[in-house]
Amino acid sequence: MDLTFSKEDEDFRSEFRTWLDANLPADMRTREWWRGKSAAESFQARRDWEAKKAEAGFCGIQWPTEYGGRGGSPTMKAIYDEEMAKANAPHSVNPLGMAFLGPTVMAIGTDAQKRDIIKPLLNTEVIWCQGFSEPGAGSDLAALQMKAEAQGDHYVINGQKIWTTNAMHGDKIFTLARTGSNEGSRHAGISMLLVDMHQDGVESRPLKQMTGESEFGEVFFTDALCPTTEVLGGEGNGWQTAMLLLSFERGSSAIGQYIDFRGQWDAVADIARQVDRDGRPAVKDPVLRQQLADSLIDLECLKYHSWHVLTQTSQGKDLGFEASMTKMMWSETFRKVSDAYEAVLGMGYQVPDPQPGLSLEELTTMSLWSRSCTIWGGSAQVQRSIVAERVLGLPR
């Protein structure tokens, strides 16, 4: 593991930090600023800020400059993630495009796809959704039923997707559909189509989540059209394209997540010092102390795992199925920090009393949200099977 930074890396850090200091107002870094806004206003504010950041050259850090990226290294991307998390900067409005579609297009897209997709994605002109899951196909993705029938120079698409993040904001969706026969293999005859969501045949409906937000929804396709040229990875190769994309989804370095969760752990420990448990500060409770220590140890392991992964990717190693280990580690560590928060406040954590100086509302949202992270991108159980079979070579 290499823990040193080159001069070029440090120069990049200081340039980005200086830009953030000047362009991310202090109030925008606080929960209060966002609380007064509707979901649509928050989304637009994040979209505008991200576009401004892209214009300043702080986007697509690892992607070539000819497609609008910065042409940087994996280490610079990790520094970018670290600085964004430290500054409490708004999360990307285009996470599915940035983290999953973009790297896949850079790896296997045609030149025309790289030109057409990457720049509008970076400057938030086009918000991308991911249409993989269906009511009958989640962990068992190969059970997907959505059909796309070629008619002339278009596919005509019919079917339904579900749990689609950003469904209500999406401009385009990369989605899996059956374009051919699956005889001989359930993985055959699937294609990844790039579909315009602004057409009569595509309808998005929001789904309410337990955080109170509707950041995901359902998408219905009724005779929706997609040009036959809008296929990523070639017709019939959708399964292979999806597996490549999922390896990006499951993550490379989790250094940004580490900074976020470590900040949350510090806040939880602070609350444990202040709230009462049987006539003494909760932090004096020996069981709770163990729980806090346990989650802190996992956090520090996550940090070193992230540096290890970064060293590997910097040396050009393809992570492949090992990406599942990172996904397992960060999502389960997040759960542990959230469990510790829930243990400090007891069941009341779901409706916390406002207490001066304690940002309980934010931590409660984090805690509720953390439950989804061991589900999306492949559940914790499925990741374990992948690591067992594909990384460790254990029998099925």
Ligand X SMILES: Cc1cc2nc3c(=O)[nH]c(=O)nc-3n(C[C@H](O)[C@H](O)[C@H](O)COP(=O)(O)OP(=O)(O)OC[C@H]3O[C@@H](n4cnc5c(N)ncnc54)[C@H](O)[C@@H]3O)c2cc1C
Residues noted as catalytic: 249
Minimum Å distance from CB 365 to ligand X? 13
Using the rule CB under 6 A, which residue among 88, 158, 165, 314 binds ligand X? Answer: 165
CB atoms < 10 A from the CB of 7, how many? 7
Shortest gap between Cβ of 78 and ligand X (angstroms)? 24
Q: Which amino acid is at 186?
A: R
Contact with ligand X (CB under 6 A) among 28, 51, 107, 375: 375
Minimum Å gap between C-beta 352 and ligand X is 22
- Angle of helix 255-274 relative to helix 360-373, nearest 10 degrees, comes to 130
Q: Which residue in the set 69, 74, 90, 138 belongs to the binding site for ligand X (CB under 6 A)? A: 138
**Least distance from ligand X to the Cβ atom of residue 135, Å:** 8
CB-based contacts of 52: which residues, under 8 Å, 6+ apart? 23
Q: Is 145 one of the binding residues for ligand X (CB under 6 A)?
A: no
Binds ligand X by CB under 6 A, chosen from 16, 67, 128, 132 = 132
Q: Report the residue number, 23 or 209, with the smaller CB distance to ligand X.
A: 209
Residue 130 or 312: the one with the smaller Cβ distance to ligand X is 130
Is there a contact between 175 and 131 (Cβ–Cβ < 8 Å)?
yes
**Could you give the CA distance from residue 49 to residue 231 in angstroms, rounded to a whole number?**
31
60 vs 170, which CB is nearer to ligand X?
Answer: 170
Using alpha carbons, select from 240, 204, 66 the residue that is nearest to residue 127: 204
164 touching ligand X, by CB under 6 A: yes
Cβ neighbourhood burial of 251 (10 Å; 0-12, 13-18, 19+): buried
For 234, phi then psi, to 5°, come to 90, 145
Residue 312, token pair as written in the block? 């590997």
Q: Of the candidates 62, 113, 133, 326, which one interacts with ligand X according to CB under 6 A?
A: 133
Residue of 73, 130, 191, 253 that binds ligand X (CB under 6 A)? 130
Handedness of CA 358, 364, 366, 367 (dihedral sign): positive
Binding-residue pattern over the window 206 to 245 for ligand X, x denoting contact by CB under 6 A = ----------x-----------------------------
Closest CA to 138 of 390, 332, 372, 370: 372
Q: Kindly list the residues in this chain that would bind ligand X in the complex (CB under 6 A).
A: 96, 130-133, 138-139, 163-165, 216, 372, 375-376, 378-379, 381-382, 385
